[in-house]
């Protein structure tokens, strides 16, 4: 279905009182269904908000344009991050949920990182799975201790290790409370990613409560 900002999305209400809402952001070629089961596993009973990226690359949905593999159209990144922030604001009003924790994979993780930097108030935190630096010259954001988990793959052929480390430093410098773990994995998600994200989300949820 569509909302006023023209995102196709799914929303599942929460079934556990106080469970943090999750904003699920798929990778290239995914859609609004891709991470629903992952979200339900990471934080059982949480409200789940899962939009589909509005950019098509060879027919595959993405959240922003890129010029080549690993080379982003940063003007489009900024524009799309703000659009996503507006969508989140509208969904919060419509469904009566708190600011969500973003759970993003690959392209979805990159737009989540951009949203943190462009509009920090839109998110309560983020789980960034196989993320890269989204903006070479980010705005000077104040993240004020927002919790962020970055999970990188040691053998990831798409995300250089140094790039993920730069993202971790960038978010830390902006004030986020960053945990960065490097897993013996490639670009695809593993059971270890889901387990670590679940444990981290539970610890963040417990601190908030």
Closest to 36 measured CA to CA, from 87, 105, 92, 98: 105
Known catalytic residue at 187: yes
Which 8-state DSSP code applies to residue 127? E
Joined tokens for residue 48: 């789940």
Q: Are 51 and 77 in contact (CB under 8 A)?
A: no
Closest to 84 measured CA to CA, from 60, 106, 109: 109
Query: What pLDDT does residue 128 have?
Result: 98
In sequence order, what are the beta bridge partners of 80?
Answer: none
Question: Among the options 76, 187, 190, 205, which is catalytic?
Answer: 187
Question: Per residue in 21-72, pLDDT tens?
Answer: 999 999 999 999 999 999 999 999 999 999 999 999 999 999 999 988 878 9
pTM of the shown model: 0.95
Question: Among the options 106, 152, 180, 193, which is catalytic?
Answer: 106
pLDDT band, residue 2 (cuts 50/70/90)? very low
Residue 143 has a CB neighbour count (10 Å cut-off) of: 21
Question: Per residue in 123-180, pLDDT tens?
Answer: 999 999 999 999 999 899 899 999 999 999 999 999 998 999 999 999 999 999 999 9
Q: Which domains can be identified in the chain, with CATH numbers? A: 9-208 (3.40.50.1820)
**What does the chain come to in residues?**
209
Question: Per residue in 63-119, pLDDT tens?
Answer: 999 988 878 999 999 999 999 999 999 999 999 999 999 999 999 999 999 999 999
The residues, ordered by sequence, that sit 6+ positions from 116 with a Cβ below 8 Å of its Cβ are 102, 123, 126, 141, 143, 146, 148, 171, 174, 176
Known catalytic residue at 34: no
CA-to-CA distance for 9 and 24, rounded, in angstroms? 10
Query: What pLDDT does residue 69 have?
Result: 80
Question: Among the options 34, 50, 156, 168, which is catalytic?
Answer: 156
Q: Which residue has better confidence, 58 or 4?
A: 58
């Amino acid at each position: 279905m569509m909302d006023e900002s023209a995102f196709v999305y799914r929303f599942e209400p929460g079934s556990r009182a106080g469970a943090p809402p999750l904003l699920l952001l798929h990778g290239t070629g995914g859609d609004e269904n891709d991470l629903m089961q992952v979200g339900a596993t990471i934080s059982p009973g949480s409200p789940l908000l899962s939009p589909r990226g509005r950019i098509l690359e060879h027919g595959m949905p993405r959240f922003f344009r890129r010029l080549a593999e690993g080379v982003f159209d940063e003007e489009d990144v900024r524009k799309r991050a703000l659009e996503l922030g507006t969508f989140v604001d509208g969904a919060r009003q419509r469904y009566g949920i708190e600011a969500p924790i973003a759970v993003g994979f690959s392209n979805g993780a990159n737009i989540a990182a951009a949203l943190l930097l462009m509009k920090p108030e839109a998110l309560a935190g983020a789980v960034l799975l196989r993320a890269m630096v989204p903006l070479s010259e980010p705005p000077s954001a104040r993240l004020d201790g927002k919790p962020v988990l970055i999970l990188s793959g040691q053998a990831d052929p798409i995300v250089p290790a140094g790039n993920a480390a730069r993202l971790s430093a960038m978010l830390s410098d902006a004030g986020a409370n960053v945990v960065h773990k490097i897993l013996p994995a490639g670009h695809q998600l593993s059971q270890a990613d889901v387990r670590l994200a679940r444990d981290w989300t539970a610890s963040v949820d417990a601190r908030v409560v």
